[in-house]
Amino acid sequence: MNDIEKNVWRKYQKNIADDNYFFVRSCIRQNFFPASEQAFLKIMRNVLGKNVIEDPKHTTCAGIGYHSDVVTFDTLQTIMGRHFSLMTEAGIKNVAISCVTSFGLYSEVLETWKHFPKELEKTRDYLYKATGRTFEIPENIAHCSDIIYKFRNEIAQKATRKLVNAETGEPLSIVDHIGCHYSKIFPEYGEGGAEFPQVLTGMVSAWGGNSVDYPERRHCCGFGFRQYLVQANRGYSVSNTYKKLVSMEPYKPDFIVSNCPGCTMFMDKWQYTISEMEHKTFGDGNQGVPVLTYEEMAGLILGYNPWDLGLQMHQVSVEPLLKKMGIPYDESLKFADKNGHKSSVPFQPSYIL
Amino acid sequence: MAFDPLVIPFSLGLIFLLIVVFYKYYTWIRQMPKPKNPPKGLNRIKAYFDASIEVIMESLLHRKIFKQNKLLGYMHMSIAFGWFMLIVVGNLEAKMTSTNAINPPYFPIFLNFFAPDRSLTPGHGIFSFTMDLFLAMVLSGLLLAFIKRSKSRLFGMRRTSKMRGMDKIALYSLWLIFPLRLFAESFNAYNHNSGNFLSANCGDFFATFLPVAQLEYSMWVLYSLSLGVFFVALPWSRYSHIPTEVVLIFIRHLGYRSCVKPTGYNMFDLYSCSRCGICIDQCQINILSETNKTVTAHYIYDMRVGNKNDFGLYSCLACGRCEEACPVGIKTVDLRIGKRYSETPQTVVKYNVPKPLKPTAHNVGYFSGCMGKLTPSVIESMHTIFRAANENVLHIDKEDGICCGRPLILSGRVDQAAQLIQLNKDRIVASGIKTLVTSCPICLKTFKEDYDLNIEVIHHSEYIEQLLETRKIKTKFTNQNVAYHDPCELGRGLKIYDAPRNVIRNVAILSENPNKNERELCCGGSLAGIALSQEQKQTLASDAIHQIIDNETKALITSCPLCKKSFTQTSVIKVMDIAEIISQNLILPAEHKVKEKQHVQEFVNYN
Amino acid sequence: MTTLKYQTVIIGGGVAGMAAATELHKSGSKVVLIEGNKKLGGQVNNWYKVFPNFRPASEIVNSLSTNLLKDKIPVLLETSITHIESNSGNYILKSNQGQVIEAETVLLATGFNTFDPSGKEEYGYGIYPNVLTSVELEQRLKTNTNGISPKRIALVHCVGSRDEKVNRLHCSKVCCVSAVKQAIELKEFYPNAEIICLYMDLRMYDNGFEELYRDAQLQHNIKFIRGRLSECALNIEKDLVLKIQDTLAGLPMKLTVDQLILMVGKEAHQLPQFDESIIIEKASHGFIKPADSHLNPNTTSQPGIFCCGTTSGPKTIQETISDARSASLAVCDYLNKK
Amino acid sequence: MSKFGFKLTPSGTINYDQGDFRLAEFIDQHEPSSRLCISCGACSATCTGGAFAKLEMHKIHLFIKRGMSDNVKTQIQNCMYCGKCQLVCPRGVNNRNVIRLILTHFKI
């Protein structure tokens, strides 16, 4: 990264709290990549020894509803107000948000309150009428990937492996994809701004990998709610992913890492759809390009068992990557439950994925 | 039967020529569409008679070239007529001298060789005198031809055609034939002391320093050889015009006509061209480039030889000036468009044009044409004139007109144009009008020639002339000095010269320009000049203007929207259409005036 | 400390300053020209050939500076004015060389800077190789070393002009015609390269500009695509991938180029530091706002302080010189009236 | 190829690097005045054929220069060849010769 990138990046330095986080889960990540959030908590608590509080009464941030014009902006502010009141009750000032879409919404709501104080008053009034709750505005907003980025070096020390090719020792070439709502709406909320966000590239370089700069790097992954939700638009959604995959193909990336539930999910699932529709597959040996969340990537280098990280739930099989990184895995236990019983094996599609 | 090996080259050449020529004419005639209204019965015989008169007057005497330039005329006449008479008189003499019934065809040509002593044949003196006379005439013509090669100005021609390929062989052999005949006959005359004023004296003269006796035979051989070579080269040279023009005159009289599609008739036109070069000076492309490869004389050579000359093909303005000047009367425009036709694949594409409108109660229809849309002042003037003459007129292409098809024809896509013509014809017929008036000569030409509408089709100048004659409109005279430009399609194209002039004389003083009527210059904007660039067209326009107007002309009147557009771009004085000068000088009844002003009044309140 | 006394101090030794100095000297007023750099000529020194007739820029600078030498007009090089204050109608100027100058009038000819395109990071200036500003290209043309033999070069108009995102709303007037000029020069440099100008509007407003544009199209086959460059990225062969919308065809468009020239706009040069009592009004585009832009374009909101050349807004060299001469007249009127 | 009820939407982007420039070069060589076209649209506005069917000469120039000549093939056949586009062109582009060259190129 040359100096202009550096001083462009320096303009967008965030201060991220270093302990006592209120963990705001994502509503869809559990079923997209079930173990990712669990891995985040394990790393924060066991590896980094941080205090991360959760509250079962915490609900969805209604992001999908809001972006699909089902939930109004006032309802959204009130829900967020309620989460802040849970935090106030738990006495925590810093919030750690797991999903990029809700991170975008939290920054949007906070910016609205900053510029339009009347909205804040209105939300307080609605919340009190509805639940009798009051709340304070948290001091520090951070996305979970910000926090992992902040402690990337500590994790690197504790890591048992690097992001390198086991045989050749070459660093893996990794494509990073930042969720658009992370910094494209409010650049100053993102680590490194909108053009050259550093949050994932920082992790990749700290853990020995090489991040790839391909022309369509900043292009949207196609996840847009109104695109994939409505079948008529779904073609438009898959075309965006296709455009990105074609653009990164010459660089032969080993895997893609993303910090947003939707991007990871669709870049992974659409590769299967594209291979069915167009008979076109990507990645070396046409085995597809595996798509990991940053927690899964962190988990791998910390030596967690791949199946505990839920890698068997990926559409693009991660086994070739595990072989490449020299990570041992037990094929037979791929679909076994916690105590080793094999319940059922999901349908294996005819194509590679 | 008299025979000598020296006649072989001549005979072989002649046989070869006859076979080639008749084979070609046979295939061309078969490719010609039947004439529309051929002369029948009595006037068919009259046609043959007229044709033979024209052959004599044109092919032999070259009367039209005489009109062009005396010296040039004499040159052509002397060679053609002289050679013809040599053959006729030669055969007559041969008939008289020989005793046996039939003689081989070569006998009269080498009469002196076979029967040198003909003192016994009746009228021997007259024969030898006339033969020498006509030989002298031909030789004089050849001498002039030789001079013309270098000093074409004497013959009233700034430029002349170049000699290329087969022309050279044919020309040199032609130039050798008659001098060799002179040698042969003069040597023969000396050896047998026969001959007349020319051959005898030349014989004596040559004898002084040449071994005449021994050389005579070789002279006859060379004479026969030159004839043979000439006959063999003729079909591919400019001299194919000798036989072909005669046949062309006959088929023209028998009603065959050329058309824009390449038919057998075009082949006759193509091979009747003698590249005499008279058309070269007429072509206005000369002012654009020194090497004018567009003019017909040069382009016909390219067509015959098959050279690729795209600029030549697509820069021709199809103005018809060369056609007017051509002594042979070749239809140069049809020849050129025919070539464009054969160059473009004729895929016909369906235009989706709405159904024609339902009939209305108008008996006069006005068609302003595509170019009309770009000259609204002409349209407004026509409407003022219609209102003044309170004629109830339907403006057919007021909203979205269909092109008349002529530009497509000029570009060679004749079959595609046919579809446009059908679409337009349906609209015109459906409108139920009795008279079709158009202010664009380009549309008028195709309405008259390709639409065969059975209603009256007239140009707006003719229509205004009618209105003036029937006193439907009255005009006031302004002693403004104006000049009139004949548009190619109206003047040369349809021979309408007087109607526009009569109309203009009602309102202004008309000064005549030197190149009027069929010698008028093209405005350069012709739709056929596809490959011409913008500057080239403007050069043509300004060159034409300078020759039409002089420093008293106040306005240049034209009767074609395209000419008006081309001239306005470079003209220093006002350029007006006939309709405009008439509508500006109408004596309008009172109520018309009021309406005009009232219209202006509205505008004032408007803002 | 020596206090020098002049009737007029001209700050800025560019084309405007030099022209004004010669005119003022001719009308007899005592004038001094102050220039911050080592050399006179200002921004015009950065240019190799100037539009519309490809005349060498050095010819203009040399002719103006030789006039100064001929008239022996005092010139203080490497001197910048640090502070200006007024006392009883005159002005006291302090310079970084420690001089103190007292003058009845001050003529600001501080001129302009070109926009630093690193603020427009999506164009990749300083990030990707082969992205350079029009001024940098002009240097390379001067030393005729452009380093690469490109197949396709794109020139981007309105970089740092007419762009609210970098807070530069004004049009800098001369970049369009410079782009066409540089396109022609590049085409002569690389006859079989394809040169493309990416423009929003093509403002060829002065004499000879439209003819230059037509000539560029017809003789040099320069291509003009109407579409503002949105972003630029590198592909694997390290070519620059440009994404634009061809607004005339109404379609998005992607093309790779070997070199990208950014036609950087003009912004006001930093004025010397004035005492609070002196207020020099600025127009919205940061250049000085003349008191009366039609009748008296060289005055400022402060009587006795005048401006000339690009100090009051972007101008061509012709306009700058004539503006400087009109400024000298304004200064003379002012001095005579005093 | 299984059907999902939706398809990859083809990219409408002009891919300038993979354009088909044969027609563009053919025209540029035979009619260099086409270089002067600034797509001002006067020709399309006055077009006779254009009143009845899609025929936009200024777009045709653009598509050819962008290497997308197959968009031009159907459109050009609506031309009635009347020559108005050339008469109104402010840059003096010889449109009729360009149309002729296009038709020759496509062998229509």
Mean pLDDT over each residue of chain C, to the nearest integer: 93
Residues of C within an 8 Å Cβ radius of D: 214, 217-218, 221, 223-224, 226, 246, 248-249, 251-256
B120: its two tokens: 């016994």
Q: Is A123 in the same domain as A257?
A: no
Give me the pLDDT at residue B163, please: 75
Q: Indicate the pLDDT class of residue B607, thresholds 50, 70 and 90.
A: very low
Range with the poorest average pLDDT among A307-316, B17-26, B331-340: A307-316
Q: Amino acid letter at C207?
A: N
Q: What is the distance between the alpha carbons of residues B440 and B369, in angstroms, rounded to a whole number?
A: 6
Q: What is the pLDDT of residues A4-57, one digit of tens each?
A: 566 667 778 888 898 999 999 998 888 888 889 999 999 999 999 999 999 999
Q: Answer whether A234 touches D (CB < 8 Å).
A: yes
Answer whether residue A181 is part of any domain: yes
Q: Answer whether D4 touches A (CB < 8 Å).
A: yes
Domain boundary pick from C231, C264, C297: C264
Answer whether residue A194 is part of any domain: yes
What chain B holds in terms of domains, given with CATH numbers, is 7-235 (no CATH), 258-343 (no CATH), 364-468 (3.40.50), 473-584 (3.40.50)
Q: Is A234 in the same domain as A305?
A: yes
Q: Is C120 in the same domain as C107?
A: no
Q: How many CB pairs lie under 8 A apart between chains C and D?
A: 44
Q: Is A234 in the same domain as A261?
A: yes
Q: What is the distance between the alpha carbons of residues B171 and B180, in angstroms, rounded to a whole number?
A: 14
Looking at the DSSP bridge assignments, the partners of residue D78 are none
In CATH, the number for domain D20-106 is 1.10.1060.10
Q: Is the pLDDT of residue B161 over 80?
A: no
Classify strands C49-50 and C55-56 as parallel, antiparallel or unpaired: antiparallel
Q: Indicate the pLDDT class of residue B592, thresholds 50, 70 and 90.
A: low
Given a contact cutoff of 8 angstroms between Cβ atoms, the answer to whether B97 and B117 are in contact is no
Q: Is the pLDDT of residue B458 over 90?
A: yes
CA separation, residue B63 to residues A112, B66, B240, D7 (Å): 101, 5, 20, 80
Q: What is the pLDDT of residues A64-86, one digit of tens each?
A: 899 888 999 999 999 999 999 99
Residues in C touching D91 (Cβ below 8 Å): 214
CATH code of the domain in which A301 resides: 3.40.50.11810
Give me the pLDDT at residue B35, please: 87
Residue of B523, B534, C183, B410 lying closest to D34 (CA atoms):
B534
Give me the pLDDT at residue A9, please: 72
Q: Indicate the pLDDT class of residue B500, thresholds 50, 70 and 90.
A: very high
Domain boundary pick from A108, A124, A144: A144
C104 in helix, strand or coil?
strand
Segment B404-411 shows an average pLDDT of 94
Range with the poorest average pLDDT among A83-87, A126-130, A274-278, C63-67: A274-278
The answer to whether the Cβ–Cβ distance between A239 and D5 falls below 8 Å is no
Angle between the B197-207 and B212-233 helix axes, to the nearest 10 degrees?
120
* Positive or negative torsion for Cα B245, B251, B255, B258: negative
The answer to whether the Cβ–Cβ distance between D8 and A238 falls below 8 Å is yes
Residues in C touching A253 (Cβ below 8 Å): none
Give me the pLDDT at residue C226, please: 96
Q: What is the distance between the alpha carbons of residues B529 and B345, in angstroms, rounded to a whole number?
A: 20
Q: Is A283 in the same domain as A189?
A: yes
Give me the pLDDT at residue D2, please: 67
Answer whether residue A97 is part of any domain: yes
Q: Is C59 in the same domain as C144?
A: no
Residue of C247, C253, C229 lying closest to C124 (CA atoms):
C229
D68: its two tokens: 């997308």
The answer to whether the Cβ–Cβ distance between B354 and D49 falls below 8 Å is no
Q: Is C314 in the same domain as C190?
A: no
Q: Is the pLDDT of residue A138 over 90?
A: yes
| Cα nearest neighbour of C126 on chain A | A4
Give me the pLDDT at residue C305, please: 94
Q: Is the pLDDT of residue A142 over 50?
A: yes
Residue of B31, B506, B581, B564 lying closest to B267 (CA atoms):
B31
Q: Is A100 in the same domain as A170?
A: no
Exposed e or buried b for every residue in A40-77, given b needs 16+ CB within 10 A? Answer: bbbbbeebbebebeeeeebebbbbbbbbeeebeeeebb
Given a contact cutoff of 8 angstroms between Cβ atoms, the answer to whether C260 and C182 are in contact is no
The answer to whether the Cβ–Cβ distance between A215 and C235 falls below 8 Å is yes
Give me the pLDDT at residue B602, please: 47
CATH code of the domain in which C303 resides: 3.50.50.60
Beta-carbon count within 10 A of C159 CB:
29
Given a contact cutoff of 8 angstroms between Cβ atoms, the answer to whether C126 and A4 are in contact is yes
Residues in A touching C127 (Cβ below 8 Å): 2, 4-5
Instruction: Tell me which residue range forms the domain holding C91.
Output: 3-111+269-337
Mean pLDDT over each residue of chain B, to the nearest integer: 88
Give me the pLDDT at residue B539, please: 94
Q: What is the pLDDT of residues C226-264, one digit of tens each?
A: 999 998 988 888 899 999 999 999 999 999 999 999 999
The answer to whether the Cβ–Cβ distance between A250 and C121 falls below 8 Å is no
Q: What is the pLDDT of residues C125-162, one digit of tens each?
A: 988 889 999 999 999 988 877 667 899 999 999 999 99
Give me the pLDDT at residue C4, please: 87
Would the pTM count as exceeding 0.90? no
Domain boundary pick from A96, A112, A144: A144
Q: Is C185 in the same domain as C228?
A: yes
Contacts of B81 (CB under 8 A, 6+ apart): B60, B61, B137
Domain boundary pick from C245, C264, C283: C264
Give me the pLDDT at residue A140, please: 92
* Positive or negative torsion for Cα A102, A104, A110, A113: negative
The answer to whether the Cβ–Cβ distance between A277 and D1 falls below 8 Å is yes
Segment A116-135 shows an average pLDDT of 95
H-helix or E-strand spanning residue A205: helix A199-206
Q: Is C101 in the same domain as C160?
A: no
- Total domains present in chain C: 2
Q: Indicate the pLDDT class of residue B447, thresholds 50, 70 and 90.
A: very high
C57 in helix, strand or coil?
helix
Backbone torsion region of residue B366, taken as left when φ is above 0, otherwise alpha when ψ lies between -120 and 50, otherwise beta: beta
Beta-carbon count within 10 A of A352 CB:
16
Q: How far is C236 from chain A (nearest CA, A)?
A: 7
Q: Is C47 in the same domain as C126?
A: no
Q: Indicate the pLDDT class of residue B126, thresholds 50, 70 and 90.
A: confident
**ipTM above threshold 0.85:** no
Residues of D within an 8 Å Cβ radius of C: 12-17, 28, 32-33, 35-36, 38-39, 58-59, 62-63, 65-66, 91
Catalogue the E-assigned strands of B323-425. 364-367, 393-395
Q: Is C226 in the same domain as C293?
A: no
Q: What is the pLDDT of residues C6-22, one digit of tens each?
A: 999 999 999 999 999 99
Give me the pLDDT at residue D103, please: 93
Residue A113, classified by CB atoms within 10 Å of its CB into exposed (0-12), middle (13-18) or buried (19+), is: buried
Q: Is C146 in the same domain as C99?
A: no
Give me the pLDDT at residue A4, please: 59
* DSSP code for B33: P
Q: Indicate the pLDDT class of residue A2, thresholds 50, 70 and 90.
A: low
Domain boundary pick from C249, C264, C279: C264
Q: What is the distance between the alpha carbons of residues D34 and D36, in angstroms, rounded to a whole number?
A: 5
Report residue A161: phi and psi, to 5°. Answer: -140, 165
Q: Is A134 in the same domain as A213?
A: no
Q: How far is A95 from chain C (nearest CA, A)?
A: 31
Q: Is the pLDDT of residue B131 over 80?
A: yes
Q: Is the pLDDT of residue B102 over 90?
A: no
Neighbours of chain D (3+ CB pairs under 8 A): A, B, C
Give me the pLDDT at residue C13, please: 94
Q: Indicate the pLDDT class of residue D1, thresholds 50, 70 and 90.
A: low
Q: What is the distance between the alpha carbons of residues B183 and B212, in angstroms, rounded to a whole number?
A: 9
Q: Is A38 in the same domain as A172?
A: no
Give me the pLDDT at residue A349, please: 63
Contacts of C227 (CB under 8 A, 6+ apart): C198, C244, C245, C246, C247, C253
Q: Tokens 């349209």 label which residue?
A: B379
Q: Is C103 in the same domain as C235?
A: no
Give me the pLDDT at residue D55, please: 94
Q: Indicate the pLDDT class of residue B167, thresholds 50, 70 and 90.
A: confident
| Cα nearest neighbour of C243 on chain D | D13
Instruction: Tell me which residue range forms the domain holding A306.
Output: 152-327
Report residue A73: phi and psi, to 5°. Answer: -65, -35
Q: Is A252 in the same domain as A284?
A: yes
Segment D61-77 shows an average pLDDT of 92
The answer to whether the Cβ–Cβ distance between A235 and D1 falls below 8 Å is no
Q: Is the pLDDT of residue A350 over 80?
A: no
Cα three-residue angle A322-A324-A325, rounded to 5 degrees = 65
Q: Is A133 in the same domain as A262?
A: no
Range with the poorest average pLDDT among A278-292, A337-351, C162-176: A337-351
Q: Is C139 in the same domain as C228?
A: yes
In chain D, what are the domain boundaries? 20-106
Please tell me which residue, D108 or B573, carries the higher pLDDT value: B573
Q: Is A137 in the same domain as A157?
A: no
Q: What is the pLDDT of residues A167-221, one digit of tens each?
A: 999 999 999 999 999 988 888 888 888 877 889 999 999 999 999 989 888 899 9
Given a contact cutoff of 8 angstroms between Cβ atoms, the answer to whether D2 and A277 are in contact is yes
Q: What is the pLDDT of residues A236-280, one digit of tens each?
A: 999 999 999 999 999 999 999 999 999 999 999 999 889 888 888
Q: Is the pLDDT of residue A332 over 90?
A: no
Q: Is C170 in the same domain as C274?
A: no
Beta-carbon count within 10 A of B602 CB:
8
Q: Is the pLDDT of residue C273 over 70?
A: yes
Segment B277-295 shows an average pLDDT of 88
Q: Is A175 in the same domain as A211?
A: yes
Strands of the sheet with B481-485, listed across from one edge: B509-511, B481-485, B555-558, B574-577
H-helix or E-strand spanning residue B556: strand B555-558
The answer to whether the Cβ–Cβ distance between D94 and B371 falls below 8 Å is no
Q: What is the pLDDT of residues B228-257, one digit of tens each?
A: 999 999 988 888 889 999 999 999 999 898
CATH code of the domain in which A78 resides: 1.20.1050.140
Q: Indicate the pLDDT class of residue B475, thresholds 50, 70 and 90.
A: very high
Domain boundary pick from A119, A144, A169: A144
Q: Is the pLDDT of residue B379 over 60?
A: yes
Q: Is A113 in the same domain as A196?
A: no
Q: Indicate the pLDDT class of residue B312, thresholds 50, 70 and 90.
A: very high
- Total domains present in chain A: 2
C196 in helix, strand or coil?
strand
Contacts of D105 (CB under 8 A, 6+ apart): D22, D23, D26, D27, D69
- Residue B231 half-sphere exposure toward CB, CA atoms < 13 A: 19
Q: What is the pLDDT of residues B172-195, one digit of tens each?
A: 888 899 999 988 888 888 888 888
Classify strands B481-485 and B555-558 as parallel, antiparallel or unpaired: parallel
